Amino acid sequence: MTAPGRRRRSLVALAAAVLCLAGPVWPAAAQPSFRPPGVPPAVDMSAVPSPASINAMPYLVNNPATRQIGPVEQQAPCQPQGTSGGQDLAGEPPAQQQLRIRQAHRYATGRGQRVAVIDSGVQPHPRLLGRMIDGGDYIEGRTGLADCDGHGTAVAGLIAAAPDAGSQFVGTAPAAQILAIRQASTFYSVPLRRLDTGEQTRSPMAGDTVSMARAVMRAVQLGATVINISEAACFPAEPDQVNAPDLQAAVHYAVEHNAVVVVAAANTSGSCKQNSPGKVTTISSPGWFDADVLTVAATDGNGEPADFSLHGPWVDVAAPGTDVVSLAAGRSRLTSGLVNSHGQLRPLDGTSFAVPYVAGLAALVRERFPHLSARQVMHRIEQTAQHGTGPRRRSEDVGYGLIDPVAALTAVIPEEGRPQQGGAAAAASPAQLSGFQPQSRDSTLPRTVALVGSAAAFVLLGLTLLVVQVVKRHQRHGPG
């Protein structure tokens, strides 16, 4: 074979190789339904809880895999809370020192802010006196101002406990109001019958993502400017996954109606297995709805990621989550532990107790910068966090890093612009759910796929034309 012939064959083979290598990319890019594990779907606002369901209490289980066959039942008597666990409850807690909470109070105390605590209820306490609002009870239909677990009371204390002469402990936003919504409890369960086998069983606790979604909407309805969710549900990660679309719609509705939603990253457990770096095998809900929530990881006493804190690309910031001190339920004292439904004493450790530091900080930021939207508040907290590895970046264990309340209240964020006239009034206006018409959120994925696909097609066309021109040139002029 002559040299020109060999060249032509080589160029044609090169063109074919380019097309073959690029070809498989086009079908993959043209599939708008494909999402890798851990990437949430576009928000489906048709799934938002209805006004009627939001105000229906007690909540009845509605799960496609089970069927409720009876009312909620208390599976263990409430336990008296309040223990030191060997800690000095009179001194300033290490986490409070680390975050410089008292210095932050020079700039704001959370006045004028209403923080919803969606949890096990909040027991009235002298250090929350005059600032508690009953948001309702999805467990028994009674009151949000009751707490069998002590969990919600501890969370509320970390957010808003007033200072007291008897100790150095104080809440992050000690002037904020607490809107208590009782949504989950490990002291209660629900009798269920599986639809597939007919087997009768019991839920491990009362509360799920359906009642959580309703509670989020109720918090917005009742004027919350910040929503604290110290709970999480874990699911195995799968491609094209859809979990709790009603909860996703609810948190999107909340942030669009100017409420900052702060949620737990989750604690590792048998059903909540740790994710490997760069690989998502477990999702945490509502944390993975990262576009609309501020997801909080926990750090230990050394400021390092706590070993129980679930990692993931949705983690935004971190806060102390070990050796915590807060308010005790049913007693006018402090506690460093909780007695569970089995009578076991457990320390206040977990991402549950990291979340209220961030929710409290959000209340401080909202007071000091009333012109900021909910999303701008989230951005400010992220951008002023302190990442321990040097250059600012986001990691899967602590996100942008440990929160810095003083920096969040004093830093200049150029992209925020100047304060807007009347911003404070707009931020304080509660959203009314009666008669609202939710609007669908357009997905940008098909448009992105179209743009990428068009660009790829132009590149391939250009390469093909180039190869053809080179072949023709060699045909005309022969060997050089």
**Active site members:** 119, 151, 352
The pair of structure tokens assigned to 255 is 């942030």
Question: Can the peptide bond before residue 286 be classed as cis, meaning omega within 30 degrees of 0?
Answer: yes
Residue for token pair 């210095």: 103
The rounded distance, in Å, linking the Cα atoms of 193 and 211 is: 19
* DSSP H or E segment with residue 248: helix 245-256
Cβ neighbours around 273 below 10 Å, total? 13
Q: Is 150 left (phi over 0), alpha (psi -120 to 50) or beta?
A: left
Residue for token pair 């508040």: 377
Q: Decide if 297 contacts 382 (C-beta within 8 A).
A: no
- Report how far Cα 412 is from the mean position of its chain's Cα atoms: 25
DSSP 285-307: ETTT-TTT-EEEEEE-TTSSBPT
The rounded distance, in Å, linking the Cα atoms of 175 and 76 is: 35
The pair of structure tokens assigned to 246 is 């009603």
3-state SS assignment for residue 317 = strand
Residue for token pair 């045909």: 475
Q: Decide if 153 contacts 198 (C-beta within 8 A).
A: no
Report the amino acid identity of residue 41.
Answer: P
What distances in angstroms separate CA 323 from CA 80, 247, 315, 326, 348, one per listed residue?
Answer: 20, 31, 22, 10, 6
Nearest partner of 221 among 429, 441, 437, judged by Cα: 429
* Long-range CB contacts (within 8 A, 24+) of 16-25: 18/460, 18/463, 18/464, 18/467, 19/460, 19/464, 22/456, 22/459, 22/460, 25/456
The rounded distance, in Å, linking the Cα atoms of 116 and 108 is: 19
∠ CA 112-287-368, nearest 5°, is 25
Q: Which letter, b or e, does each residue of 378-401 get, where b requires 16 or more Cβ atoms within 10 Å of its Cβ?
A: bbbbbebbebeeeeeeebbbbbbb
